[in-house]
Amino acid sequence: MLVIFNERYMSFNAFAMPSSLTQVLDQLGLQVPTRVQQELFPVVVEGRDVLVSANTGSGKTLAYLLPLLSQVLASAGKQRACTLVVVPTRELVGQLAKVLGDFAQIPGGCKVATLAGGSSINTQLMQLRGGADFILATPGRLLDVIKHNGIDKSSIDVLVLDEADRLLDEGFQDQLDELIAEFRPRQRLMVSATYSRKVRAKAGWILKNPVFLDLATAVEQVRHRAVEVDEQRRKELLLFLFEQDLAAPALIFAADRRGAEKLAENLSKASIKAAVLHGKLSMAQRANVLRQLEDGDLQALVATDLAARGIDVPSLPVVINYDLPRSVELYTHRIGRTARAGLTGEAISLVDINSEAHLALIEKRLNISIPREQIEGFEPKNALQRVVPLNDGNGGIKGKRMSKKDKLRAAAARSAGHSDESDSN
């Protein structure tokens, strides 16, 4: 079933939810629901399984939380069911807890338990005593809690897979399969900014007779740029961009943890207020970095792709791909960190002769055209040739076989990326 967008709801007051909930939304300055909030609310209230795809920054989190909160508040004094929300990173657990915390002032409001690595499992087990209305969890810690018999599995009424594409990726596949087998919820929701063919196929056995809401569109507020430069001069060019009053704070993506740490160190030596974010940092360290970013204390945050799912700063003006992402989906999530809450943003990719073909593939898959440019004094010595990608049936590009050196480099990047992700639960 495909639901087509319409404007039947002009304000949150038109939703069938308690007035206490709309009052909090009013206090938060939220009067008009976004497209995904309008479409998802009645479907969730109806109890249907849903597969929803919508742009990063489009209000997906509130889109599923509001109808679920409405049901919790409406059941005051009765036996309450529990919603389990599974996300891939600790940062997202904290982000969801913060959103739900805005509604904690409502009389008879919800009880929230958070389960994520980096904190004592005993403390988290204590949170679960007496039940909870919402359990927010990463896959690894949730499985640990289940092994400790810390959760009443029969109480889980709704299961939400937020950032579903990442949860179904190789790093979480086995854990997610194990979790799906543990619960028998009445309703299941899958939410994400992107869905690959693999995810859509997987949804076939996770969801029952689902409603499909495909609301993802090209982000027109983002200006895409590709600056051509030789690989060995990327750092020098990046420093030059900051000297030219690059909008701050800038979120800079590196391929792996070591590369991110080295780049952040180089920026700091150049008197640029920079920090690094990756999976090897402790929970407290990550929280401190994100706090600095939100408070405006940083000019640059250098991150691995872990941050593509855990950063929600509405005023982030620019994203820089120091290294191009491994996949089209990651490109979408990276640039989704800017142009949020109706603002404009910029996505800059530093492209050398070895990455031009990959960028061309990203353009083709996203059906966009990214203008190439050169900056005086940084013109590449190696001529860059525009590539028109041809799908070889295996996701690769015909005529562009990787050299042995490139294969080793790619394998090292994948290994480092998985290492980062494995520590994020």
> DSSP label at 137?
E
Extents of the domains making up the chain: 12-214, 222-409
Cα 343 to Cα 87, 219, 278, 313, 358, distances in angstroms = 26, 11, 26, 11, 28
Q: What is the pLDDT of residue 87?
A: 93
Q: Crossing angle for the helix pair 60-74 and 90-101, nearest 10 degrees?
A: 50
> How far is it, in rounded angstroms, from Cα 90 to Cα 98?
12
Closest to 217 (Cα-Cα) out of 62, 36, 369: 36
Per the CB < 8 A criterion, the answer to whether 354 and 198 are in contact is no
Q: Which residues pair with 397 in a beta bridge?
A: 391
313, 274, 328, 303: which is closest to 420 by C-alpha?
A: 303
Element (H, E) at 94: helix 90-101
- What is the rounded CA–CA span in Å between residue 119 and residue 320? 32
Fold agreement (12-214, 222-409): yes
Q: How many other C-beta atoms are found inside a 10 Å radius of the C-beta of residue 325?
A: 21
The per-residue pLDDT for 17 is 84
Longest pairwise C-alpha distance within the chain: 72
Cross-strand pairs, 212? 2, 51
How far apart CA 349 and CA 327 sit, in angstroms, is: 14
Question: DSSP class of residue 81?
Answer: P
Whether the CA torsion 218, 222, 228, 230 is positive or negative: it is: negative
- The residues facing 228 across adjacent strands are 351
Superfamily of domain 222-409: P-loop containing nucleotide triphosphate hydrolases (3.40.50.300)
Nearest Cα to Cα of residue 53 among 68, 35, 66: 35
Query: Does residue 325 have a cis bond before it (omega within 30 degrees)?
Result: no
What is the phi/psi pair of residue 4, to 5°?
-95, 140
| Cβ neighbour number for residue 224 with a 10 Å cutoff | 18
Taking a C-beta distance cutoff of 8 angstroms, is the pair 94, 114 a contact? yes
> What's the chain's Rg over C-alpha atoms?
22
Evaluated on CA atoms 291, 293, 298, 304, the torsion sign reads positive
Asked whether the beta carbons of 309 and 88 are under 8 A apart, the reply is: yes
Kindly list the averaged pLDDT for each block of 10 residues, start to end, along the chain of length 425: 43 82 86 87 93 80 92 73 90 89 77 90 91 93 94 93 80 85 93 75 85 71 90 95 89 93 95 91 83 88 76 77 89 77 80 91 87 93 59 43 54 51 49
Give the CA distances from residue 105 to residues 21, 62, 327, 382, in Å, rounded to whole numbers and listed in that order.
10, 17, 42, 60
- Rounded distance between C-alpha atoms, residue 267 and residue 242, angstroms: 10
- The pair phi, psi for residue 410, each rounded to 5°, is -65, -40
pLDDT attached to residue 410: 56
- DSSP annotation of 12 reads G
Which amino acid would we find at residue 124?
A: Q
How many C-beta neighbours within 10 Å does residue 340 have? Answer: 21
Distances in whole angstroms, Cα of residue 175 to Cα of each of 97, 117, 124, 142, 307: 22, 15, 20, 10, 21
Q: Is the dihedral of CA 112, 116, 119, 121 positive or negative?
A: positive
Which CATH number, 3.10.20.600, 3.40.50.300, 3.40.30.10, 3.40.50.720, labels domain 12-214? 3.40.50.300
Element (H, E) at 72: helix 60-74
